[in-house]
Structure formats: structure tokens, C-alpha cells
Chains A and B, each alone.
Chain A
């Protein structure tokens, strides 16, 4: 972390960049937050550890419009989102200095809570460079958890330790991939339509429409979201039943289909713990099945199968009825 701070300070001092986007300490040891750093003393609060899960690529949409270059710290998986934003002309690459930061998987405080760890005073063992267990100093004494057991689900299906775009790399990354990416999707596919509807109805009933998923999503980068636009009558429409409001998530999934890199931020930030990534991952699985494997953001030049046409494309008759299987 110190190497990263020193380097960012150096880049500001030599005029390469005007500001940096990274993470600063939060009110608790497990909730650092994205922040801008311009002055040397700002870096006193800079932090980069296992709890810095936030994908900062989307912040470059606004930062790219500012005067002078901005450095942004991106983990390997965040670079996919950044590439996708380049593809959609939403970020200014010229105005961006990408520091590819190392990653050993990001942590989920909920996992500790579920393991019964409460009253946390401080946490150690969450450094990127470390390889030991995470140690919690709590008001009930010291508690330990294996780093892997504390990881976000998304990190168990990690896209790999390679950054797909960067200007320089700082720190080592590890592959943390040890689970089947589509296992959850397959479970849902195996349900009957009624079971499936009941499942999502239950999950989505928790939604409070805080819009955190939309605001954090790098693919949801519209200047004005259709859900906020009075131009469409749907915005003012009264709901006919309690589920209609939840169509928000289904429509959102359609809007990001073929563009979603599966960064998993939607599920990470959801205060209600709704597994929102499942919608997107189902689309990804279908795209893979129908058009061959495709990873959004891997190559900023690559066309999304959904907005590209080839003679080898699946015939509609072969896709129809597939959902019934």
C-alpha cells in the first residue's frame, strides 16, 4: 500500500496527474470508500486492502471531463469494466492514468457476521501482500478466519489476475477462482417456472429501490436513466401490483445484457443482500451458449454478440423453448 501511495504522490508531484481516485478509510475498518486525492495530506487517509472492493472505473466518466489527467486504481476485474466504458465512448482514455493494483480477492464483512464475529474493534491480516488469516480484535476477544472464507462470492469466480488495460502495475495479484461461475444459474434454470418466479418474487420483495445497484454499475452509465425520464409514460405509471415495481431489475438486466462484465458490484452494494448478479449471469451464460464464449470488456474493439450480426448466428427457432429445458 505504501508503494502505491508513494507512487501516486510522485505522479502528482511531477505533474503527470492532477488527482488520483482510490479508497479512503471509512468509519469502520471494513468499509473504506472511494475518494479523490489531490493534496499530499489527503493521502493520510488513503487505504488499499482486502475490503476495498469498490470498482472505481465508473468514476472516470466524470473525472475524465476534468482538467488534467486523473489516475485511477483498478483491480484486474475492474479493468474489464473500464474497457467496456472505452468501447461505449463513456470515458476519456487520454485523460486517464490507470494504475493496475494487485488483488488477492476482496472481503465480505457479512461472512464474518454470519460466522458470529461481532463487536469488531480492529482487523489485521487484510493486506494485499499478506497470505495469512484475517484476525479480528473484538470486544469479545480475538477471532480468526481464513482469508478465503471471508471472500466475496464473486471473487471465487475471479476473472484472473491479469489487468486487461493499464499504464503501470503496482503489487501482485492472485487467482482466487475456485468455484463454478454458472452453478447458481444452473440451479435456477433447473427450477420449474413457478418455482423460479416464486424465488425471484421473494428475493426482489426485499428491494427498497435505493438504486444503489444502478448507481454503482459501470454498465448503467446513461446520462439519464429511463427510469428517471418523464419522457416515458412508464415513469409516472401507477403499479398494478406489488411485483411491478420489481420489473426495474429485470429491465435493468436487459439494458446491461451483453455489456455487463460480471463485476458483481450490484450484489456487493445491495443493502438487502439480493443476489442481483444472477440476472446478469444468466444472460452471460445464454450468450456463451448461443454465440460462443464472450467476455464483455476483454477487448474494447470486440462487438457484443447481441449487437453484432454474423451468418453463423443462432437461428431463432433454435433458441425458442430453451428456457423450458
Chain B
């Protein structure tokens, strides 16, 4: 029989305001196995832990139930505390009476009742707990960064500078990401390329960094410290070692002249050949052939690039290649794109070439862009005189169908930037910005916005645009409401710029699934703790960097990239990791050998062996499951898939769980 101590935490008023902690103590005192029960203001504090240690010694406790916050918060704390007093740390159970009880209930009586029930379940479980011992697993000293934008670049550089090997996997032909498409960056207006390109070059030349561009993560297995990742290197059709990056092939590609393939990098404002580098400063400076559009791949005729290439680098026979690499840690830096605007028909984005998104405007103002940095209307190549900016297109949107509930965070600042850059370029331009709120928290941010209003006389109007109507004369009619003056506005514009909401790169869903990293309703990756572990995924060994985790600007992205790198370095610096002792075990007498568990095991931890068993006097050779404890992560998938109940999880056995349920239903 266990001797169980129950400790009920007030958590200041977090728990005590809603749950009658004294009553909980009184009621659980007589539960089977309980020999001691007490409450305290802050159980996790030094004094609180001291109380626990004293009780263990005085009453010879063999098991502990801590009624407090979630186990994710303080289970480690209390396990360490038990260990200090000589108790096996796995003899501790946490009953979550804060997040699952006091925080979500208002009625004191009901909440108290529930707290008692949760405590009872934990007590019932501890009665069946057994001491468990952690094992050890090695750490592969190499990190993978998925995504080669500024987030991925910075994370990789920081890890590489600390002396660890890093691989970057980027699905596009070049690293650089969104930032490479931008013109200038707020609030200092440095040229994006000027600050990004050196970093791209550094990545390319760093002895500790391996680049996999035009590549995608195909499969991930393993666990923290020991991931196995299959990377698909898509066929570039150009020999990496032979190519000098002279660009002759792109210049001579007949499709470049016909101009039917819209350039992804220039957001479709310009066309590109079938063999191309996305932009002049691409890293690596090796072109790819877009096989879907290339005449040679479609008809077998052409072959101009192969003929023209001075170094004979074009290779039509190249095939996709899959490489498998071991990693200790993985960083997700898959970035963002803007939402599709098909559902915003009122802004006439699909009707008029002069209604553009802000990212398209970046390209139109970029010296390397389709117009050579000369801002003009796409319809008639004339200088726009009146420009209207519409904020929050799809951001802070009530309709889940249409847009996103969150603030995209970067639009207010880049719109102020755009307005000032345009005024610098064409000082006689009239610029009007329609906004819901102007949000400019951040160092030198509000000053930046005020400069747009006060020095550049940009006309900011609080109000939303109802409709943009293309006119027969080629102009655009903007119908809007001025909320401060309470007036309807009809305004003629030559160009309308939409601040479209950002959203995580659509590919992140697949990657998150492969990594078993959780994502929220908006497909942003979830942090292990919103405040205290913001760059870690709840899945051990997976870290988050950049927009993939939530909307943020470049300075924030770079800081977060550094933070993620530090967490990775902290992990890779260890030689061994403690493994979770809550692993699966197979009862060979019950095992049917059906392989169902091996099929569902995400870690490949289950194998089958023919073993001799003695089943009640019957000696037989049977095919039975064997769990590799070093690989098992204790997810429990096998235990629920096993039809005969042969698979069981240490620390979360079927009996323990049914006992908990029984205690709750009592």
C-alpha cells in the first residue's frame, strides 16, 4: 500500500479564489492511500517545496499528489523536489486544478467539487504508480533549418558560428525568401538587398552550413537528438559543379522572349525564361529549368540552353535525388505569404492591373524590379498621381471565410514606408491611406509614422473602403467612409495598393504534420509556452523562427532567429539526453503478433521476433512485439491500437487510466 501525501496549492488567488482549498484538503484526506494532506500559498516556492520534503521524511511518503497548475508548468519542479527527498520522481502526479478548474469555473462550490474529483483521480493513479528510471540517448550534433528566408538564414548563421553543422532546406531555387523581394526596410529605410545579400553570401561560404536549395523535406522520423530526415533534391537540370552562373542560358532561352511564364519572384509583374535564376543576386547562382514550361521537356525539341552553355552544365537527364541526413534539432522557418484576394472582389484586384498588393508595390519600386524602380501604373505605364492605400485587407477580419482574425502587424509600418518612398520619388503625388487603426509600437516606429503624416503630408483617413470601381477613362473610383467626419467619400485614384493579410506559408501544414509540431487554427506553429518558451515547439527538438510562428517584422524575426539558434546550440552542446522512461512494454503472453502496433508507431520503435514462450505449461514459438526503449517516445499509439491489450505504457498503464476514470465517475 502506498503512503500518499496530497499537497494543495493556492497559487496566490489563482486557485484559492475559486476553489476552497481547505475543503479539498479535508475531503481528500480519507481517500485510499492518503496519509497526509495540506495546503500552501505557493507550493512551487522554496518554502512550499520544503514543506513537501519535510512531509516525505516525516510520514515516509511513497507517493505524492500535487494539486496545482498544469503538469506542463511545474511537473518537473515537483519531480525534482521529490528526488531531493529520496523519492523516485515518477511517484509524483499533478492534479491540474488551475487551468482545468479554477481558471475556467466561476462557481466556487462547483469548482471545489471538481478539484476534489481531479485530486481523487490523481490519488487513484499514484496508488498504481511504480518507480521508473530514465535512460540516455545520444545527440547528433547537426541542425536542420527548414526555410531559407531571413529567419532561416539568421538561425543557421548563429548555429554555424557556434561551431555546429547546419543544413538549410529551401524549396525555391535561391535562398533569400520574402525579404529579398523588398525594396527598403522600415524604420531606417536601408535597402533590403544591401543588408540581406551579404548574409546570403555568408551562408553560402560558411564552412559549417550546407545548402539544399530547390529541395523539400520529404519525411521525418526519429525524435529529439536523433531525427532522420529525407530531403528531396529536385532535379535542377543544371550541373551544380560545372555551372559558372554566367546567365547565358537564361538570356538565350526562346521562352524568355515570348514572355509567357510569369516570374514568381516579381509576383507576376514580369516574365521569366524557362531556365532561370529568380533574381540577379540568387544564392546559389545556379539556374534551374522549370520543367513544366520548358519546351524541351514538353516536346523534346529546342535544347538551346544546352547548346549555348559554355561549360556544358545543362543536364536534361538529371533526376530528383533523396538524401537522408541525421539531425539533433530542427528549426521551422517556413515564413509567410499574403492571402489570396479572390474573396475580396470589392477591391477589383482581379479586374484592374492598377490595383496591386503591397508586395507587388515593393517590386515596382525596387531598382531590380520590372520597372527598374520607376513607379508607374501597370496598365498604361504612366506616373500615378493619386494613390490610395487600403489597410487591413483580410487582417482583423470578422468573417472567417474571407480573411484572418489577427493583425498582420507589419502593414501599418510598411504603408508609411511606401508613402514616404513614393513622395521621395514623385513629390507631387497625392497619397491617401484608409485605416482602421494605425498600430506602430516598436522602437522608432511611431516617429516613423508621424514623419509620414507631418513631414510628408500623407493623408490618413480612419475608415474602410467599400468599393473600388475601375472607370472607363482608366482611373479607379474609390468609395469609402470617413469615420471621424461621418462622411461618405468618393475619390478618384490612379493606383490602389492593398495591404493584404499575411498567412503562414501553405506548405507549413505538411511540415508540421511530419514533425508532429502543433499548429493553431490559422496554421501558425504553436509555441511550447506563449510567454516562457516562445521559440520552442511543444514537440521536443523542434524550434520556431520567424513568421511561421506568428506575424512579425524583420527586427523581431532576426531576434527570434537568434533565440531559436541559442536553444538549438543548448541542445547540441549536450552529449547525451535523458530519455522518457514512460515507454511501451509488450506482454508477450498476450501479444498476437498482428503488427498493428508496429504499423501505428511513428518512431519505428517496434519490431517483431519469434520467441519461445511458456504459456501456462504450453511451450510455443510465437511472433511477438518488441519495443526498442531507446526509440520509444511514450506516445501510446500502440497501446490504443493493440486489440488484446498486450501493449501497455509505463507510467500511463491501461489500468492506471481506467482507475483514474473510475475515480472521476465514482
Contacts and interface: CB of A to CB of B under 8 A. Distances in A.
Contacts of A221: 592
A88 B644 contact: no
Contact of B662 (A229, A233, A256, A308): A233
Interface string B607-631: 0100000010000100100000000
Of the listed residues B513, B587, B594, the one surrounded by the most CB atoms of chain A closer than 10 A to its CB is B594
A225 interface: yes
B421 interface: no
B658 A223 contact: no
A225 B646 CA distance: 10
B644 A233 contact: no
A207 to B, nearest CB: 21
Contact of B510 (A87, A222, A225, A311): A311
Contact of B644 (A222, A308, A311): A222
Contacts of A187: none
A238 B599 CA distance: 35
Given A226-B645, A233-B658, A311-B510, A88 B594 contact: yes
A58 B199 CA distance: 66
B654 interface: yes
A90 B594 contact: yes
Nearest to A254: B643
Contact of A307 (B589, B593, B608, B641): B641
B590 interface: yes
A131 to B, nearest CB: 41
Question: How many of chain A's residues touch chain B, expressed as a range?
Answer: 20 to 34
A114 interface: no
Given A229-B645, A231-B645, A233-B655, A222 B599 contact: no
B599 A303 contact: yes
B378 interface: no
Interface string A283-309: 000000000000000000001000110
Contact of A88 (B590, B596, B620, B654): B596
Nearest to B510: A311
B592 A231 contact: no
B645 A89 contact: no
Interface string B638-666: 00010111000000001100110010000
Nearest to A219: B643
Contacts of A232: 645, 654-655, 658
A138 interface: no
B304 interface: no
Interface in A77-98: 87-90
Contacts of B662: 233
Contacts of B615: 223
B595 interface: yes
A221 B620 CA distance: 17
B414 to A, nearest CB: 33
A89 to B, nearest CB: 5
B600 interface: yes
A234 interface: yes
Nearest to A88: B594
A90 B659 CA distance: 32
B401 to A, nearest CB: 15
A262 to B, nearest CB: 18
B645 A88 contact: no
A256 B596 CA distance: 12
A255 interface: yes
Nearest to B648: A231
Nearest to B509: A311
A224 interface: yes
Given A233-B659, A303-B599, A88 B592 contact: yes
Interface in B470-518: 510, 513
A223 B513 contact: no
A89 B644 contact: no
Contacts of A303: 599
Contacts of A234: 658
Given A88-B592, A89-B593, A231-B655, A222 B600 contact: no
A88 B655 contact: no
B442 to A, nearest CB: 35
Interface string A199-233: 00000000000000000000001111110010111
Contacts of B587: 231
Contact of B590 (A223, A307, A308, A311): A223
A229 B655 CA distance: 12
A65 B623 CA distance: 13
A293 to B, nearest CB: 20
A226 B592 contact: no
Nearest to B596: A307
Interface string A245-283: 000000000011000000000000000000000000000
A224 B644 contact: yes
A224 B623 contact: no
Given A226-B645, A233-B655, A307-B641, A88 B513 contact: no
Given A224-B644, A311-B510, A89 B595 contact: yes
B209 to A, nearest CB: 29
Given A88-B595, A90-B594, A232-B654, A222 B643 contact: yes
B320 to A, nearest CB: 18
A282 B185 CA distance: 58
Contacts of B510: 311
B641 A229 contact: no
A50 to B, nearest CB: 33
Contacts of A223: 589-592, 615, 644
A231 B599 CA distance: 25
Interface in B567-612: 587, 589-596, 599-600, 608
A89 B658 contact: no
A302 B1 CA distance: 48
B642 to A, nearest CB: 9
A222 B644 CA distance: 6
Interface in A40-83: 65
Of the listed residues A65, A90, A221, A224, the one surrounded by the most CB atoms of chain B closer than 10 A to its CB is A224
A232 B645 CA distance: 9
A255 B643 contact: yes
Contacts of A65: 620
Of the listed residues B591, B615, B645, B655, the one surrounded by the most CB atoms of chain A closer than 10 A to its CB is B645
B658 A222 contact: no
Contact of B594 (A89, A224, A231): A89
A224 B599 contact: no
A65 B655 CA distance: 33
A256 B513 CA distance: 27
B592 A90 contact: yes
A262 B98 CA distance: 48
Interface string B405-417: 0000000000000
18 contacts: A88-B594, A88-B596, A89-B592, A89-B594, A90-B593, A221-B592, A223-B644, A226-B645, A231-B587, A232-B655, A232-B658, A233-B655, A233-B662, A255-B643, A256-B643, A308-B599, A311-B510, A311-B513
Given A89-B594, A89-B595, A303-B599, 5 more contacts: A88-B593, A223-B615, A307-B599, A307-B641, A308-B599
Q: Which 8 A-B pairs have the closest CB atoms?
A: A88-B594, A222-B644, A307-B599, A255-B643, A226-B645, A89-B593, A307-B600, A222-B592
Interface of A: 65, 87-90, 221-226, 229, 231-234, 255-256, 303, 307-308, 311
